[in-house]
A and B are shown apart, each in its own frame.
Chain A
Amino acid sequence: MVDPKKGCPPRCGYGLLGLCCSSCLSGPCRRSPFDDKSGGRFCGEDSDWIVAHNVMERVSRESLQAMAALRDALERASGLGNRMEASRLTEMKRLLSPFYRGESALLEMLYPERAFPFLHALKFPPGSWSVALLDAAAARPETHDIEAQLESALRLSAMTLAAEALLGELAGMAPEETGLPLPETPAPLLLLVSDEDGLPNDGRDAAHKEIEAACRETVWICKLRHMAQLPALGRKIYDQWGIPASMSGSLAVVASSSMIHGLGALALGFSLAAVPAYPIHGSPRVENYLTHHLQQTFGHAYLPVQPEEDFVEQILGGLKR
């Protein structure tokens, strides 16, 4: 799919919809977005399963990368001369244990239920991060519960954000530090997240500037350098306003090549506008769960950004919901 106006490199239309499946060696298969509910060529799976499966594949891969980063940081912190309490290090290491199914005091501290009710409604925390990933991987080939797969993806994404916050702590930042001021009274926040570890990105920066210029007079804007600041922001919102983020009507604009960061914002109760948009449009069921279902049940939702419509208007519309 080539858009001559935008001059972008050719992209796979099926991939943009999430309908390109490489889950087995008999593929890769492409499902037409216009087909009925009939099965695929070899496995018989429908569009809903393919899209949800692709989301889980991406989330699992990104989780593993983040786990490796946390493990490496913990190994360094466990060496001679470290100043962190042994008990805290042990708690962090327990997050990576593939056998630990007990409650995690660390996750409870990072994500208290009163501040993150949606996350706890997803049966969070489930034990260690590794257990959550392994359980999701073990269940995925057989399960046709699309919503359960999406809930697993959201849980894993939240755990990734927690791990990245812990990485900040290992690097010397205090866990409560956000450096972000909030209004005195509850008000919808517009969070602009750069999230590329300091890498310059002209498109992302230009989009942020355009949004900021258009929304400055109408909404409180918070600019985050990294998604790792989001858990602390969620706790601060509750501490200052007495309501969870999901009830504040806040919207996070996440310009990132990582899906797990945007889904993490969603798991924490922030509405989400992702740039680029996520490849879920090929499944009405997946899209409905992340949009209408979340909106009606919890008050926040994923905002599917239409490529050909005005981006800023869509953002402002998302804040008004």
Chain B
Amino acid sequence: MCLSCVLACQMKALGLLDPRDLASGQKPPRRISMTLIEGTPRTSICRHCVQAPCAEACISGSMVRDEEASAVRHNPETCVGCGTCQLVCPFNAITRNDQEDCMAKCNLCPEDDMPPCVIACGTGALALGRSDHDAQGKKRKFAEELRGERNHG
């Protein structure tokens, strides 16, 4: 658990490439965090749920499900900072951005080819894919195994 993804996300929030350019007193919002639960690293990051409780709870329409990108996008400009989304999120993925008096969460960095957290991960533990990416992969693999068994049988 090197926390490089956490720092990379914070650097992105501040618009910096190098942490040595940090000015004192800067406090970026937390969009990803890591904890150890029974010895296993767990991320607190938006899961971009298919049926997102935060999108349903949002009173200002700032949380919107983008089906094409398979993401839940947060618009800080329309967000009123009520915190309802934070209350309903089962993954503790939403925090308050005190600097801009609104909420903050992972938006998958649509302006970048690859989110900085994924680039910073040195082990490949973080990967960018559709929400059903893993499920589709498992289905393909199972189908190949079935074909293989039928050919041999």
Contact = CB atoms under 8 A, between A and B. Distances in A.
Nearest to B18: A307
Contacts of A16: 18-20
B24 A284 contact: yes
- B3, B7, B28, B120 interface centre (most CB from chain A within 10 Å): B7
Given A33-B19, A277-B20, A10 B28 contact: no
Contacts of B8: 1, 13
Interface string B1-17: 01110111011000001
Contacts of A33: 7, 19, 22
B17 A3 contact: yes
Interface string A1-37: 1110000001011101100000000000010111000
A270 B75 CA distance: 51
A30 B2 contact: yes
A277 B20 CA distance: 9
Interface string A180-191: 000000000000
B2 A12 contact: yes
A166 B53 CA distance: 72
A262 B118 CA distance: 35
Given A1-B4, A1-B7, A2-B120, A308 B17 contact: yes
Interface string A284-308: 1000000000000000000010111
B21 A308 contact: yes
Nearest to A279: B20
A277 B22 CA distance: 14
Nearest to A10: B122
Interface residues of B, number: 21
B140 interface: no
A155 interface: no
Interface residues of A, number: 20
- A12, A30, A34, A281 interface centre (most CB from chain B within 10 Å): A34
Nearest to B28: A34
B41 to A, nearest CB: 13
Contacts of B2: 12, 30
A17 B20 contact: yes
Contacts of A12: 2, 4
Contacts of A277: 20
Nearest to A17: B19
- B3, B7, B18, B20 interface centre (most CB from chain A within 10 Å): B20
B119 interface: yes
Given A1-B8, A30-B3, A308 B120 contact: no
A281 B7 CA distance: 14
B119 A2 contact: yes
A34 B19 contact: no
B151 interface: no
B119 A281 contact: no
Contacts of B130: none
B51 interface: no
Contacts of A17: 19-20, 22
A16 B21 CA distance: 11
A54 to B, nearest CB: 15
B138 interface: no
A281 B20 contact: yes
A292 to B, nearest CB: 12
Contacts of A34: 10, 26-28
A218 to B, nearest CB: 27
Contacts of B20: 16-17, 277, 281, 304, 306-307
Contacts of A3: 17-18
B152 to A, nearest CB: 44
Contacts of B10: 32, 34
A2 B24 CA distance: 22
5 contacts: A1-B18, A1-B120, A12-B4, A13-B7, A16-B20
